[in-house]
């Protein structure tokens, strides 16, 4: 009696003649189902032949669609319900099998993508990275030829529910995937922006920070090792011009042997020109910043009666809490405080509010009093705050309170510079040693009234000159910092 073929040999034979090996495949499938039931009961340990059978069944499932109809649901349910206790190798093999079944058309794309979004809460970092890469690639592939609006709307609504879940890891990866799809021009629409903006009011501080960076335009900056969109467009245009030169020749005429090579280059030139035109259209369509795609900046999406006004109220509450913490526990550093209380996060929120006011002409009367406590000469990053006020001041009246606050801050800085200069001068004068006199004539000369008056006059004049010079330097330095911050902020 001949020995049973190995799984690799049987897989090759089944692909050539599926009908001839139906009984053998059915026997292997029943064995796999029994192993699958055993793994469901004892997920911590899997049999030795479970992974080879899983790979075999997933590869030949497309040859027997009616026989393998229940296979994707069973694999997906096992991975979703037992992902915390399964072995890492089993988790990766199950995900690979589901992706293979999806490529063979046995799993609907929406069901698998929603399951992948739910699996982001898994504690396996390697699995999360694979899920993230697959989600971004699959959605980009589904929208390559034409926008799949039903799929996009269903997934965006699913992400909204994930952002409200208590698992911060799953919500973070879901939000990261949306931002990456927006950056890759796949989900470059208003709904994506509004879904990401709804993360400003989620209970997880890291998600709020990610949403702040997104609305401030951090997604448009090119990453390390990647070319920007403009550089790619320039490279495409350079390739088109190079192809034209090859077709035209050095002297402008066609090549001496027109034929298959010339026709191939012409077709390549036409494809490159179409690609360049489509990239230019896509760049023009996506030129709007994410801040301008908000449906209602005063009432941000996904949050009833919440928006820029409520963000301002949250910032005032955070400021009061920070003052109480500083008063009770002054030894705490900024790195030990929660994310919502750190100065960097508050500066991001102030920057967002100022840009909202400048872009959408909002009226926030309580925003200026909130900024008043930060406009102090000793305040860290005072130049950034002045730049945010300048951005906001473009949309309001020049005689508004923003200009008054800025002028008051500049006046305080000048007064502080003059006070510091006076203290340094007095300290230096106190440390000055007295010169030794040459004799009694000098002692008598110093006692005269004219000499005393002249000495005091020179001291006062020197003090005034030194103070004016220090004030002049302080004003020049503050102006340079303010102009540089305004250029960076815009």
Q: Is the model's pLDDT at 284 over the cut of 50?
A: no
The pLDDT score that the predictor gives to residue 303 is 37
What tens digit of pLDDT does each residue of 172-195 get?
999 999 999 998 888 888 888 888
Task: Find the helix or strand (DSSP H, E) in which 175 lies.
Answer: helix 168-183
The pLDDT score that the predictor gives to residue 128 is 93
Mean pLDDT over the full length of the chain: 74
In this structure, the dihedral spanned by the alpha carbons of residues 316, 319, 325 and 327, taken in order and rounded to 10 degrees, is -110
The pLDDT score that the predictor gives to residue 18 is 85
Q: Rounded distance, CA 159 to CA 151, Å?
A: 12
Structure tokens at 136: 């971004």
Residue pair 40/82 in contact by the 8 Å Cβ criterion = yes
Range with top average pLDDT, 2-11, 22-31, 448-457: 22-31
Q: Rounded distance, CA 396 to CA 403, Å?
A: 10
**Three-class secondary structure of residue 306 per DSSP:** coil
Q: Rounded distance, CA 171 to CA 160, Å?
A: 9
All residues at 6 or more sequence positions from 180 whose CB lies less than 8 Å from its CB, including other chains: 136
Compute how many other C-beta atoms are within 10 angstroms of the C-beta atom of residue 455.
11
User: Which position has the higher pLDDT, 13 or 357?
Assistant: 13
Q: Is the model's pLDDT at 324 over the cut of 70?
A: no
Confidence band, pLDDT 50/70/90 cuts, at residue 476: confident
What tens digit of pLDDT does each residue of 43-102 get?
888 788 899 999 999 999 888 888 888 899 999 999 999 888 999 999 999 999 999 999
Which of 55-69, 215-229, 364-378 shows the lowest mean pLDDT across its residues?
215-229
Compute how many other C-beta atoms are within 10 angstroms of the C-beta atom of residue 31.
13
What tens digit of pLDDT does each residue of 242-278 get?
666 666 654 444 444 455 566 766 677 677 777 666 6
All residues at 6 or more sequence positions from 28 whose CB lies less than 8 Å from its CB, including other chains: 7, 10, 53, 56, 57
Nearest alpha-carbon partner for 244 in 214, 266, 225: 266
Q: Rounded distance, CA 25 to CA 406, Å?
A: 79
Q: Rounded distance, CA 222 to CA 228, Å?
A: 5
All residues at 6 or more sequence positions from 276 whose CB lies less than 8 Å from its CB, including other chains: 233, 236, 237, 240
Residue pair 21/14 in contact by the 8 Å Cβ criterion = yes
Structure tokens at 427: 């300290």
What tens digit of pLDDT does each residue of 376-414 get?
777 888 888 877 777 655 545 444 455 555 555 556 656
Q: Rounded distance, CA 47 to CA 378, Å?
A: 67
Residue pair 156/139 in contact by the 8 Å Cβ criterion = no
Q: Rounded distance, CA 214 to CA 293, Å?
A: 12
pTM of the complete model: 0.64
User: Which position has the higher pLDDT, 27 or 247?
Assistant: 27
The Cα angle at residue 283 between residues 233 and 146, in degrees rounded to 5: 105
User: Which position has the higher pLDDT, 354 or 422?
Assistant: 354
What tens digit of pLDDT does each residue of 8-19 get?
888 888 888 888
Kindly give the residue spans of alpha helices, DSSP state H, lying in 401-448.
401-431, 440-446
Q: Rounded distance, CA 249 to CA 395, Å?
A: 56
Q: Where are the domains of the chain?
A: 7-186
What are the phi and psi torsion angles at 217 (to 5°)?
95, 20
The pLDDT score that the predictor gives to residue 425 is 60
**Three-class secondary structure of residue 216 per DSSP:** coil
All residues at 6 or more sequence positions from 100 whose CB lies less than 8 Å from its CB, including other chains: 58, 59
CA distances from 412 to 36, 401, 407 (A): 74, 16, 9
In this structure, the dihedral spanned by the alpha carbons of residues 445, 446, 447 and 449, taken in order and rounded to 10 degrees, is 90
Q: Rounded distance, CA 120 to CA 440, Å?
A: 93
The CATH code for residues 7-186 is 1.25.10
Structure tokens at 242: 């190079």
What tens digit of pLDDT does each residue of 326-344 get?
444 433 334 434 444 678 8
Q: Rounded distance, CA 46 to CA 79, Å?
A: 13
């Amino acid at each position: 009696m001949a020995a049973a073929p190995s799984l690799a040999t049987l897989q090759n034979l089944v692909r050539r003649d599926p009908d001839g090996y139906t009984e053998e495949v059915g026997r292997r499938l029943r064995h796999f189902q029994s192993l699958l039931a055993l793994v469901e009961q004892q997920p911590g340990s899997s049999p030795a032949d479970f992974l080879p059978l899983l790979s075999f069944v997933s590869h030949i499932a497309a040859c027997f669609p009616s026989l393998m109809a229940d296979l994707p649901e069973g694999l997906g349910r096992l991975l979703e319900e037992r992902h915390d206790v399964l072995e890492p190798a089993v988790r990766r093999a199950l995900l690979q099998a589901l992706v293979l079944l999806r490529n063979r058309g046995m799993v609907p794309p929406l069901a698998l993508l929603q399951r992948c979004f739910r699996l982001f809460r898994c504690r396996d970092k390697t699995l999360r990275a694979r899920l993230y890469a697959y989600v971004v690639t699959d959605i980009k592939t589904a929208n390559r030829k034409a926008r799949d609006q039903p799929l996009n709307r269903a997934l965006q609504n699913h992400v909204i529910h994930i952002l409200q879940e208590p698992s911060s890891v799953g919500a973070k990866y879901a939000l990261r995937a949306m931002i990456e799809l927006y950056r890759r021009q796949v989900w470059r629409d208003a709904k994506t922006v509004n879904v990401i903006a709804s993360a400003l009011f989620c209970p997880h501080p890291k998600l709020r920070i990610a949403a702040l960076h997104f609305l401030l335009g951090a997604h448009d900056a090119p990453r390390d090792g990647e070319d920007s969109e403009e550089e790619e467009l320039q490279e495409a245009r350079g390739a088109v011009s190079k192809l034209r030169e090859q077709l035209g020749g050095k002297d402008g005429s066609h090549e001496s042997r027109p034929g298959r090579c010339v026709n191939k280059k012409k077709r390549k030139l036409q494809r490159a020109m179409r690609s360049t035109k489509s990239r230019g259209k896509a760049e023009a369509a996506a030129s709007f910043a994410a801040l301008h795609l908000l449906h209602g900046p005063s009432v941000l999406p996904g949050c009833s009666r919440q928006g820029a006004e409520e963000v301002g109220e949250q910032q005032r509450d955070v400021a009061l809490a920070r003052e109480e913490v500083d008063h009770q526990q002054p030894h705490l550093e900024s790195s030990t405080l929660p994310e919502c209380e750190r100065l960097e996060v508050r500066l991001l929120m102030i920057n967002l509010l100022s840009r909202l006011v400048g872009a959408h002409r909002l009226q926030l009367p309580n925003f200026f009093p909130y900024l008043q406590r930060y406009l102090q000469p000793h305040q860290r990053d005072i130049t950034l705050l002045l730049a945010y006020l300048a951005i906001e001041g473009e949309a309001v009246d020049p005689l508004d309170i923003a200009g008054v606050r800025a002028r008051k801050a500049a006046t305080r800085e000048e007064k502080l510079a003059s006070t510091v200069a006076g203290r340094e001068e007095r300290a230096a004068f106190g440390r000055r040693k007295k010169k030794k006199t040459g004799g009694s004539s000098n002692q008598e000369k110093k006692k005269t009234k004219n000499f005393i008056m002249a000495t005091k006059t020179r001291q006062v004049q020197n003090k005034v000159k030194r103070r004016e010079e220090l004030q002049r330097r302080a004003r020049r330095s503050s102006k340079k910092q303010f102009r540089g911050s305004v250029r960076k902020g815009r």
